[in-house]
A and B are shown apart, each in its own frame.
Chain A
């Protein structure tokens, strides 16, 4: 999917910003807490710029840590204490709020002159749509790559693995070169790093069509997750672990600690998001890394040119009393200038690249942006797309499989039972 180019083309038609907000309007904006100074500074500046351009609107910016955010947001939106505008992940997190009538329908307002409908490729709104209505505006794409330590690879004449077989061979080679060097840094204490591996492996091994069907609990309840590829995906993770690929005790290592291990040169590779380079640079690696796509599954049924990616964006509360002001602000977030600034400040892939120059951003950002144009499709992320009672069990069971306290067959047996029950409860 040529996301960036599509976005740039769409933004070509963008006109001046829509603004009909009344004076002295206060908007509550909720976002995730970030430990990155660059992110926090970016938001300070974006809000200041917006308020300067719209003197009648004041933005009250509040942030929350990820887990508290998900919980607090649901409670707040059902009351009058909730935000007017809030960050959300696309997929089930956004859809559940829309289905329960907590988010505003933005379909019509987006079609007005100068609004986001002219700035973003139409297909991108699918990720925030429910029953054909748009309930959120995507602002950026997050994506994941296999980052590797260029110095270590060059010093030891190692080539970057392109298939899972090569990856296992690389792990063994790295362990032989330096037994104290972890080939891959993995921190699955919070359970979501493991699920990113399995999401990617499921797509590559099972195939995107079957995965989409099973994650949607579509079809006969007894046949859900019965493709043997799901077992193979979990077995691949076990095989990587047994080949000595991961650092000690990945289930007891936090995601932060795993990034630090790679940044400190104690791990040769890490499967990490496009938000990771900032940590690598600030913790000592300073550009001594490069990236590659996740290795292909040799006999996988999926399109191997898919890549892990997720759109994130902003939704507007159905209870907001300042719809015009709120939509003006969201529209400001997807303006060419703000999108370019976001990309420059902390390396997010903009949905509107109209103001991005060839030389904008770090070399790694440019590489990701260029590569994003060649994705055949986006890997469906398990805990974003799948019904929560099933995905929560999947998260836990990946830890158990990685610990080898359950076999992949046992694990998928449990997942099938959970999926069947969830399907039956849905009626």
Chain B
């Protein structure tokens, strides 16, 4: 029965007349509001960004000068763009390892290792995600302060040394300080998603694994992880796209400094658009960012389809 229905559905999809035929007019009418909004808020701005990236103009310039693809050529030669791109990649990779990795371990502990106080512990770990990122940035700025910050005090009392240029002032450390704050904020979110998925795994699978002689660790690798595959793909996608969209935390914690060492594509777009006044160039960087995000989205969709 299911096979027949799928065949029928596929046949309908394949016939052009069914898309534009009288029978589907009602369908078009029903999706028109959503399509209009999608076109208004996604398609039109995208085309506008694409077109603007070919022009040279400032935010308040009365005129625009057509420069063709010169902004894209400039992007390839722009050292700061590549620093920003590399930083986004580092944030994405460390995000996957730290946020999803630790979130997974925490979810497993809460799912099968802890009997009491699960809700309280989950709430505490989840809490940072509901706080504004700007507020979190300001809070951590105080914590990282090289003269009066809590971490400085802690390290001093433990007899440990701290970086002479400060946690946020050292180009080799600042990005990882930002990543740590992101980890603190988002791990709870990943944990909750994974915990919800884990609780949906049939208990019989664990019982069967136990009968086969598998301990908790083997069960985790042979039952839990395979069952979480689709959710993990979603988590990876969320983390990677968030990593490429990151702006606020960087802006508040370091403003892209010291130098340009913590610049990310989001902060670089804002700097070019609103501080330097190069709107065309900022639009070109936005297009590149969009292409990357779209590419990642397509990879995710293909991966999940292959799984089905």
Q: Which of B144, B254, B259 has the most CB of A within 10 A?
A: B259
Q: Does A322 contact B (CB under 8 A)?
A: no
In the bound complex, residues from chain A placing their C-beta under 8 Å from that of B166 are 248-249, 251-253
Would A403 and B165 be within 8 Å (CB), given that A71-B274, A257-B145, A396-B260 are in contact? yes
Contact between A248 and B62, CB atoms less than 8 A apart: no
Cross-chain contact B59 with A252 (CB below 8 angstroms): no
- Let me know if A388 and B276 touch, CB within 8 A: yes
Q: Is the CB of B255 within 8 A of A189?
A: yes
Q: Which of B146, B147, B277 has the most CB of A within 10 A?
A: B147
Q: How far is the CB of B246 from chain A (nearest CB, A)?
A: 18
Q: Mark B147-172, 1 if CB is under 8 A from A, else 0.
A: 11000000000000001111111110
Q: Which of A72-80, A277-285, A366-374 contacts B (4 or more CB under 8 A)?
A: A72-80
Output the least CB separation between B136 and chain A (Å): 16
By the criterion CB–CB under 8 Å, are A254 and B141 in contact?
yes
Question: Measured between C-beta atoms, what is the minimum distance from B275 to chain A in Å?
Answer: 6
Verify B276–A403 contact, CB threshold 8 A. Answer: no
Contact A248 B260 (CB under 8 A): no
List residues of chain A with CB within 8 A of the CB of B277: 96, 388
**Residues of chain B lying within 8 A (CB to CB) of residue A251:** 165-166, 168-169, 257-258
Q: Is the CB of A396 within 8 A of B259?
A: yes
Main secondary structure of the interface of B (DSSP, over half): loop
**Which residues on the A side are within 8 Å of B278 (C-beta)?**
389
A342–B256 alpha-carbon span in the complex (Å): 36
| Contacting pair B62 A100 (CB below 8 A) | yes
A247 within 8 A of B: yes
A400 neighbours in B (Cβ, 8 Å)? 171, 258-259
Q: Are B145 and A252 in contact (CB under 8 A)?
A: yes
Q: Which residues of A contact B119 (CB under 8 A)?
A: none
Is B128 an interface residue when CB atoms closer than 8 A count as contact? no
Which residues of the partner chain A approach B60 to less than 8 Å between Cβ atoms? Answer: 74, 77-78, 96-97, 100, 102
On whether the beta carbons of B58 and A96 are closer than 8 Å, the reply is: yes
A292 to chain B, nearest CB (A): 24
Find B276's partner among A247, A248, A260, A389 (CB 8 Å cutoff). Answer: A389
Measured in the bound complex, the distance between the Cα atoms of B247 and A42 in whole Å is 35
Report the separation of the CA atoms of residues A405 and B171 in the bound assembly, to the nearest whole angstrom. 9
B61 in contact (CB, < 8 A) = yes
Q: Find the residue from A102, A248, A250, A400 having the highest chain B CB count within 10 A.
A: A248
Q: How far is the CB of A423 from chain B (nearest CB, A)?
A: 15
Asked if A213 CB lies within 8 Å of chain B CBs, one says no
By a CB distance below 8 angstroms, the chain B residues around A260 are: 148
Residue pair B255, A249 in contact (C-beta under 8 Å)? no
Q: Tally of A-B residue pairs with Cβ under 8 A?
A: 105
CB within 8 A of B146: which of A71, A102, A249?
Answer: A249
Distance (whole angstroms) from the CB of A315 to the closest CB of chain B? 13
Chain B interface bracket (under 10, 10 to 19, 20 to 34, 35 or more): 20 to 34
Chain B residue with the shortest CB-CB distance to A399: B258
A10 at the interface (CB under 8 A from B): no
- Cα separation A260 to B169 with both chains bound (whole Å): 19
Known: A261-B147, A389-B278. A405 touches B141 (CB 8 A): no
For A58-84 the 0/1 string (1 means CB < 8 A from B) is: 000000000000110011011000000
Cα separation A389 to B168 with both chains bound (whole Å): 24
Question: How would residues 262 to 295 of chain B score, 1 for a CB under 8 Å from any chain A CB and 0 otherwise?
Answer: 0000000001001111100000000000000000
Known: A100-B61, A266-B147, A389-B278. A249 touches B165 (CB 8 A): yes
Beta-carbon contacts under 8 Å, B66-113 to A: none
Q: Are A403 and B274 in contact (CB under 8 A)?
A: no
User: Which residues in B have their C-beta under 8 angstroms from that of A403?
Assistant: 165, 169-171, 258-259
A247 to B141, CA, bound (A): 17
Complex: how many Å from CA A207 to CA B165? 32
Known: A189-B254, A189-B255, A191-B255. A252 touches B62 (CB 8 A): no
The verdict on A101 contacting chain B, using a C-beta distance below 8 Å, is yes
Nearest A-chain residue to B163, judged by Cβ: A249
Q: Is A397 an interface residue (CB 8 A)?
A: yes
Does A360 interact with chain B (Cβ within 8 Å)? no
Asked if B274 and A70 make an inter-chain contact with CB atoms under 8 angstroms apart, the answer reads yes
**A252 near B167: Cβ-Cβ < 8 Å:** yes
A69 to B13, CA, bound (A): 52
Which residues of A in the span 198-254 have a Cβ within 8 Å of any Cβ on B?
247-254
Q: A71-B274, A254-B141, A403-B169 are in contact. Are A249 and B259 (CB under 8 A)?
A: no
Instruction: Give complex CA distance A257, B168 in Å.
Output: 14
Q: Are A75 and B258 in contact (CB under 8 A)?
A: no
B276 partner residues in chain A, CB cutoff 8 A: 388-389, 392
Q: Once the chains bind, are A249 and B164 in contact (CB under 8 Å)?
A: yes
> Does A190 sit at the interface, judged by CB under 8 A?
yes
Max count, chain B CB within 10 A of own CB: residue among A71, A266, A397? A71
Alpha-carbon gap, A189 to B171, bound state (A): 12
Residues in B neighbouring A405, C-beta threshold 8 A:
171, 258-259
- List, in ascending order, chain A residues with CB within 8 A of B61's CB: 100
B164: chain A residues at CB < 8 Å are 248-249
Chain B positions 109 through 151: 1 when the CB is less than 8 Å from some CB of chain A, otherwise 0: 0000000000000000000000000000000010011111000
Report the bound CA distance from A405 to B258 in whole Å.
10
Chain A, 91-110, CB within 8 A of any chain B CB: 96-97, 100-102
Q: Are A191 and B275 in contact (CB under 8 A)?
A: no
The CA of A257 and the CA of B152, in the complex, are separated in Å by 14
The chain A residue sitting closest to B274, CB to CB, is A71
Q: A70-B274, A189-B255, A191-B255 are in contact. Are A248 and B147 (CB under 8 A)?
A: yes
A residues near B (Cβ < 8 Å) are 70-71, 74-75, 77-78, 96-97, 100-102, 189-191, 247-254, 257, 260-261, 266, 388-389, 392, 396-397, 399-400, 403, 405-406
**Nearest 4 CB-CB pairs, A to B?**
A252-B166, A252-B169, A249-B166, A249-B146
19 CB-based A-B contacts, threshold 8 Å: A96-B60, A100-B61, A102-B60, A247-B147, A249-B165, A250-B169, A252-B167, A252-B169, A257-B145, A257-B148, A260-B148, A261-B148, A388-B276, A392-B275, A392-B276, A405-B171, A405-B258, A405-B259, A406-B259
Beyond A251-B169, A388-B275, list 17 extra A-B contacts (CB 8 Å): A74-B60, A96-B277, A100-B58, A102-B60, A189-B257, A191-B255, A247-B147, A249-B163, A249-B169, A250-B169, A252-B144, A257-B145, A260-B148, A266-B147, A388-B277, A400-B171, A403-B259
